[in-house]
Amino acid sequence: MSQKRKKYSKQFKLDALQIYEKGEKWEEHGLIFLNIFGRPISCENLYAQFKQFLKRNGLRGIHFQDLRHTSISLLLEVGIPVNTV
């Protein structure tokens, strides 16, 4: 695990502990993009965080939807059947 990832993981755990201590409860929604309470993240916040991630990592600006196309291309490239993708 990279140092940067360890830093974010540690911060997430600290945030979760603070939430727990305040009596806040995690809400399970079966989603991928969540806030620190387990609730759905707003589209605006997701987009803003995505843009910050790109800038922080020196990546050129892309549309969030481009991730979907890229992941499909990568899955097909490694041999995952089209009907599975």
Give the integer Cα–Cα distance in Å for 85 and 81: 6
b/e map of 23-54 (b: 16 or more CB within 10 Å)?
eeeeeeeeeeebeeeeeeeeeeeeeeebeeee
Task: Tell me what pLDDT residue 74 has.
Answer: 92
Whether this model's pTM surpasses 0.75 = no
Give the pLDDT confidence of 9-55 residue by residue, as tens digits.
677 777 777 776 766 676 777 777 777 777 888 888 888 888 998 99
